[in-house]
Structure 1
């Protein structure tokens, strides 16, 4: 028995270290156009030329359950693939709307350009897509960075927009008034060294998320599984180009000029302000007062209205789906 006990103890000592140092499962790499990342509806593609490059724009085109003859275009934020619109797509489709959900160039399953991004180009691409689909007029429902694009579309193409819903939009202030210009290479270096855990904390802090961790994980995967792609540097440069776009091309000054009926739906706890950590300390507290900014801007518009949802952060439509549904469907029906 003593000899047997010695053998068992030796085996346990040998086995234990292998358990202690086991590495987490490696991430299954996605392509930089999110190949391998599932979307809730079939994805189609549309060719565009931007900055002299032939690029491909991905989109979902979801039919209405019982068509009311109207279409809604959903515009995604910077840190999210358009797949996160899934519950809103279902909501609108069931209410009778055809729902078009593009990934803008530089994002999601669309091509990643090598040059700069511009809101005017994204607006033209979106209108060209609607032309191809035979949609002459649509409602625009936008979130975060998509709100800045929605504002540009409503200003440039007012005759093609019925209603504009700005869901927790950024760009309600001109960030150049607070944040000094940052070289692209510096932003690339900072983004490249960010870890998955650090990114999760960044989302939770910047967006005041009220979601359980498992609902945030797909956003982490959508970004960090791309690191396994050999084309990751191209994706990273395009991602940083979007940060420079929102900084260099403010839209806040255009908002009071929008004539189309516009509804802001804001989370009371959402104080997201891109570039805030780079602003001088005395100015940081002035940034990101988004609910107050939305109320002020809505009051300056001919057809503006702001609704602020308590205990809600940046992902309004996921955090307060019931109230969001009521507000959007009621607004679009008028």
Structure 2
């Protein structure tokens, strides 16, 4: 199996961590994770993509092992840092794969730096218009829990996500909890950034070939697929049956197959 190599790049925010797999001369694929996860969301996907491509999964600025540079969190900032990583790795153009928050970052990167993006895969990605922002403002925090001296907040963090994860796969929830604990009090930053992003003002700039991946059992993402396709007429929708919130590490083979099939269609 193609080995995964991990490294840091010195960017404007400080050191940004990434994991890479595959031939550096092969076409590049940049994978962007959901909040508050890290590159490990794609640990099992990287070697599958790396067999044919240069697959890179980065830790978004402020998550995983990446510095945030003291800059306020925003989708625009994270897209700029992702583009800086492409610069540092001397990648002129990449296909973007984003899951949940990562899909929003991918869309902004494609809008802001169109010549750097060959195509994009939007997995379980919300459409963040005014209606989305109103609905999100009316809901409680997604992952935030109050710290406790007896550690019950750890169980509360687990329980907040449990209904959206497949039964019998505790390792997936463990991976989420590890990443969430690493960012600590910033655990909601990704969700807040998504909730404030004005996608309706940016999505019209996206002209690259696109694929919308719909995890059928993900209640946060599935309802947005049709609206995204309406806004991106060049995109098509592919369903992954039984997919839930942790889709890339829940079903890595199915996820990688969909991405590889899309990559084969790109000019």
Distance 1:219 1:77, change over 3 A: same
The 5 Å alignment of 1:91-110 reads: 91-94=48-51, 96-110=52-66
Shift of residue 258, structure 1, vs aligned partner: 1.8
| RMSD (Å), alpha carbons | 2.8
Distance 1:142 1:190, change over 3 A: same
The 5 Å alignment of 1:198-237 reads: 198-205=156-163, 207-209=164-166, 212-224=169-181, 226=182, 235-237=183-185
What is the distance in 2 between the residues matched to 1:61 and 1:214? Answer: 23
Shift of residue 112, structure 1, vs aligned partner: 4.3
Identify the range of structure 1 (164-173 vs 96-105) with the bigger mean alpha-carbon deviation: 164-173
Question: What's the TM-score once normalised by structure 1's chain length?
Answer: 0.69
What is the match of residue 245 of structure 1? 193
C-alpha contact 1:210 1:313 (8 A) present in aligned 2: no
Shift of residue 209, structure 1, vs aligned partner: 3.4
Shift of residue 263, structure 1, vs aligned partner: 0.7
Identify the range of structure 1 (246-255 vs 304-313) with the bigger mean alpha-carbon deviation: 246-255
* Structure 2 counterpart SS, 1:135: coil
What is the distance in 1 between the residues matched to 2:138 and 2:72? Answer: 16
Distance 1:112 1:123, change over 3 A: closer
1:259 aligns with 2:218: no
- Bigger helix fraction: 1
The equivalent position to 2:115 in structure 1, one of 122, 144, 159, is 159
Larger Rg: 1
Question: What's the TM-score once normalised by structure 2's chain length?
Answer: 0.84
C-alpha contact 1:263 1:305 (8 A) present in aligned 2: yes
What is the distance in 1 between the residues matched to 2:143 and 2:161? Answer: 18
C-alpha contact 1:72 1:140 (8 A) present in aligned 2: yes
1:57 aligns with 2:16: yes
Distance 1:133 1:217, change over 3 A: same
Gaps of at least 5 residues in structure 1 are 1-39, 227-234, 273-289
1:269 aligns with 2:220: no
What is the distance in 1 between the residues matched to 2:252 and 2:12? Answer: 37
State the Cα deviation string for residues 226-263 of structure 1 (Å, max 9, x = none). Answer: 4xxxxxxxx43433333332222232553354211111
The equivalent position to 2:5 in structure 1, one of 30, 42, 46, is 42
Shift of residue 113, structure 1, vs aligned partner: 4.5
Distance 1:319 1:223, change over 3 A: closer
What is the distance in 1 between the residues matched to 2:8 and 2:106? Answer: 21
What is the match of residue 140 of structure 1? 96
Shift of residue 87, structure 1, vs aligned partner: 1.4
What is the distance in 2 between the residues matched to 1:319 and 1:189? Answer: 23
Gaps of at least 5 residues in structure 2 are none
Distance 1:167 1:210, change over 3 A: farther
* Structure 1 counterpart SS, 2:187: helix
C-alpha contact 2:19 2:56 (8 A) present in aligned 1: yes
C-alpha contact 1:113 1:238 (8 A) present in aligned 2: no
Aligned residues: 259
Distance 1:187 1:267, change over 3 A: closer
C-alpha contact 2:229 2:235 (8 A) present in aligned 1: yes
What is the match of residue 88 of structure 1? 45
C-alpha contact 2:215 2:244 (8 A) present in aligned 1: yes
Structure 1 runs (4+) deviating above 6 angstroms are 186-189
Shift of residue 91, structure 1, vs aligned partner: 0.6
C-alpha contact 1:75 1:102 (8 A) present in aligned 2: yes
What is the distance in 2 between the residues matched to 1:307 and 1:251? Answer: 21
Shift of residue 172, structure 1, vs aligned partner: 4.7
